[in-house]
Structure 1
Amino acid sequence: MTFRTFSGLLPLLLVPVSLAAGFVPDISPVWVFVLGAAATAVLADWVRRATEQLADRTGSAVGGLLNVSFGSVAELVLALFVLAGGHAAVVQAQVTGSIIGTGLLGLGLAMLVGGIRRDRQRFNRDSIGLLSTLLILVLIALLLPAIFDLAQRKASPGLDPALADEKLSLGTAIVLLGLYGANLAYTLVTHRDMFGGGEEDDPGHDRAAWSLGRALGVLIGGTALVAVEAELVSGALEATAGSLGLSSTFLGIVVLALVGTAADLFAAVVFARQNRMSIVFSICIGSAIQMAMVVAPLLVLASWALGHPMNLVFGDPLDLLAIGATAFVIRAISADGETTWFEGLLLIGLYVLLALAFLFLPHSP
C-alpha cells in the first residue's frame, strides 16, 4: 500500500471511532455529534467517488440518474433521521444551509482558490445560465408557500392555515420533482450536446478506475454507514445545542448542512485548482438545485409516512432572504462567463454574514 493510498483511507478511521463513541456511557454528546458529523462527511465523499465511477461506466444518461439518486444521499438520510426525531424546523434550516453552503461558501472557496494565481477563470455561460435560471425558479417555488401562508392568515385570521399549507407543500413538492425530471431529460437527452464539458475536459482523467464490484460495494456500504452515522448525529443534536448554547436551528443551517455538502465543496475546490470552472459551477449550483427540487420535496412526502408532517413554509424571513440572495448573486456572477478571486471572497463574506445573522437570531434551544 502506497503512502498516498494510506493517507486517503486514514479519514475512514473516523467511522469506527464515532460508532464506538456512541456506546460510551459517559462521553459528552458534543463529541458524539462532532465525530458522527465528521464521519458522515467522509462517507459522503466516498459515496460521491463510487457514484462517479459508476457514471463513467454507464454513460451520461444513466450516470446523471445515479448522481441524482446518490449525489445528496448524506443530506437526505441525515435529514430523514432529524425529521423522524420531530425536528421539522431543523430540517428546513438544513435545506436553507445546504443551498447557501454550496451556492455561496462552496462556490466562493472554489473561485478564491482557483483564481488566486490567475487573472480570471472562464466557464460555459450557456449551460451555467440555465442552472442559474433554474435556481431562480427554485427561489420562487420556495417563496410561494410562505407568501400563501401569510395571505391566508390575513384573509382568514381565525382559520388555522396548517392543513392548506400542507396541501400546497405536497403539490409544490410533486411539481418540483416533475420539473427536475424534465430538466434531466433536457440536459441528458434532448440537448445533451449543449451541456458537454467542452475544452475544459481533462484528457488525463482516469475513467472507471474501480471495478464494477468495488464501486457498487462502496456505494451500498457507504450509504448504509451514512444511515448509522446520521442516527448518531440526530440523537445528539438537542443535547449538543444545549451544551454549546446554540439553537438546533443554527446547527442545522451551518453544521448539518456543511456535513451533507462537504463532498461537493471539496470536489469544487479541486476542480477550480484545475481551472475547470464549468464543472465547479455545475457542482455548486446543481447541488443547491438538487437540494431544493429533489431532497426537500422527498422530505415533504416522506414526512407523512414518518408521522411528522413537514411543509415548505419557511416561517423565518431570514431563510427566504438567504435563499433569495444566493439565487440572485449566482445569477449576477454567471452572467459574464468569467470569475475572479475577489468575487469568490465576496461570496464567502456574504455567507459569513448570513451565518452570523442566524447565530444571533433568537431561537428556542
Structure 2
Amino acid sequence: MKFLKYLFIFIPISIAFEFMHMNPILIFIASALSILPLAGLMGEATEEISYYAGPRVGGFLNATFGNATELIIAFFALKEGLFDVVKASIAGSVIGNILLVLGASLLFGGLKFKTQTFNKKAIEVSSSMLLFAVIGLVIPAIFTHTVKPELLTTRYEILSIGVAALMFLIYILGLYFSFYTHKDIYGSDHGEAHEVKWSLKKSIIVLVVATVLIALESEFLVSSVEPMTKAVGLSEFFVGIILIPIIGNAAEHSTAIIMAMKNKMDVAIEIAIGSSLQIILFVTPILIFLSLLFKPMSIVFNEFELIAMFVSVLIANRVANDGESNWLEGMQLIVVYIIIGISFLIL
C-alpha cells in the first residue's frame, strides 16, 4: 500500500492535462493513476472512522464506502450516457472480485501456507446470496428476449426500477441479518489490535476531500473514455469490464491479498464476495435510481456478461463448499479471468 503515495503526483498532472486539452490517452492514464491512491486514502479514512463509530456502524460504513469509487465513476458515465460502460463495469467488478481478487488471494496465501481454512458457514451465506443476486439480473434479460419489442416501453422501465428496489431491500435485510439476528455466524472480530492514527475530525475531512477529488478525477476519466478507445482501438466494453473495475477497486484488492498472506482467509474471502454483493445489491440499484435524473438505464445485461457473472458465482459457491483453499484453486480462478478478459478484448 505504501507505493500508492507516490501516485498522488498524478492528481495535479491530470488536472493540468485536462485544462491543457492534452491527448485523451494521457488524460485517461493520469486520471486512472490518480484515482488509485485516492481510493486507498478513502478506505483508510473509512477504517479510522469505524474505530470511533463502533463495529456495527463501522461495518456499515465499510460496506457503503467499499465501492464508492466505482459508484462515482459510474455516475459520471451515466451522466455522459455511457450505459454500456456502466453495465460492463458492474459485471466486471463482480467477475474481477471473484476470479481475480479471490484467485490472487488464494494463490499468494496458498504459496505461503500449504492449506488455508475459513468460516464455511459465513462464506456459504454470502455466496448463496450472491447467487440470488445474479439470478435477479438474469430474469430481466430473459424477459426482454421473450416479449414483443413494442411492449418494452414504460412497462420495461417499471421492471428495471422494481427489480432494483427489491435488490436494495435484500441488501438492507442482509445487513440486518449479519449485524443483528445472525451475527454469531460471522464470529466476533476479524481485525487486529489497531492503534488509531487520526482523530475523528481528521478522518472525516480526509474522507470528504478524497471523495471530492475522486469525483473530479472520475469526470476526467469518463470524458476521455470515448476518444481514448477510438485512438487506441479498444472497445468501450473492454474498458468498462476490465480497466474501470481494476482502477476502482485496486486498494481493496491489495488488502484482500495482504490478509490472505497473513492467513486471514475469512477477511480475504469476505472482501472478494462481499464486494461483489455490494456491487449487485447496492451499487446497481443506486445507479438505476440515479439514471432517472438523466435518461433511464435498463437493468438488462448482455448474454456474455450474464454468463461470465453466473459462472463466476458458481465458482465462488464451489470454493466455499469445503472451507479450505490452496494455491492451485487460486491459479485456476486467475486463468479463467484471463480467458474472459481476452474474450472481451476481441469483442
Q: TM-score, normalised by structure 1?
A: 0.92
Q: Are the counterparts in 1 of residues 49 and 200 from structure 2 also a CA contact under 8 Å? A: yes
Mean alpha-carbon deviation: is it higher for 341-350 or for 57-66? 57-66
Query: Which secondary structure does the structure 1 equivalent of 2:234 belong to?
Result: coil
Q: Which residue matches 1:274? A: 262
Q: Which residue matches 1:48? A: 43
Q: Are the counterparts in 1 of residues 138 and 306 from structure 2 also a CA contact under 8 Å? A: yes
Equivalents in 2 of 1:161, 1:70: separation in Å?
34
TM-superposed deviation, 1:163: 2.6
Q: Which residue matches 2:168? A: 177
What is the aligned counterpart of 1:226 among 207, 210, 214? Answer: 214
> Does residue 18 in structure 1 map to residue 6 in structure 2?
no
Percent of aligned pairs with the same amino acid: 33
TM-superposed deviation, 1:192: 1.8
Q: Are the counterparts in 1 of residues 73 and 222 from structure 2 also a CA contact under 8 Å? A: yes
Q: Are the counterparts in 2 of residues 165 and 313 from structure 1 also a CA contact under 8 Å? A: no
What is the aligned counterpart of 2:322 among 313, 326, 336? Answer: 336
Post-superposition CA distance 1:22-62 (Å, at most 9, x none): 1223x210110011112112211111111111112211211
CA-based RMSD of the aligned residues comes to: 1.5
Q: Which residue matches 2:300? A: 313
Q: Are the counterparts in 2 of residues 54 and 208 from structure 1 also a CA contact under 8 Å? A: no
Q: Which residue matches 1:359? A: 345
Which consecutive segments of 4 or more residues in structure 1 shift more than 3 A? none
TM-superposed deviation, 1:63: 0.9
Q: Are the counterparts in 2 of residues 101 and 261 from structure 1 also a CA contact under 8 Å? A: no
Note the 1:100-119 alignment, pairs <5 A.
100-119=95-114
Query: Which secondary structure does the structure 2 equivalent of 1:335 belong to?
Result: coil
Equivalents in 1 of 2:80, 2:151: separation in Å?
24
Post-superposition CA distance 1:228-271 (Å, at most 9, x none): 00000011010110011011111010111111111221110111
Equivalents in 2 of 1:269, 1:360: separation in Å?
29
> Does residue 349 in structure 1 map to residue 331 in structure 2?
no
Aligned residue pair count: 347
Q: TM-score, normalised by structure 2?
A: 0.96
Note the 1:1-365 alignment, pairs <5 A.
9-25=5-21, 27-152=22-147, 156=148, 159-197=150-188, 201=190, 203=192, 205-305=193-293, 307-314=294-301, 316-361=302-347
**Structure 1 101/298 Cα, relative in aligned 2: closer, same or farther at 3 Å?**
same
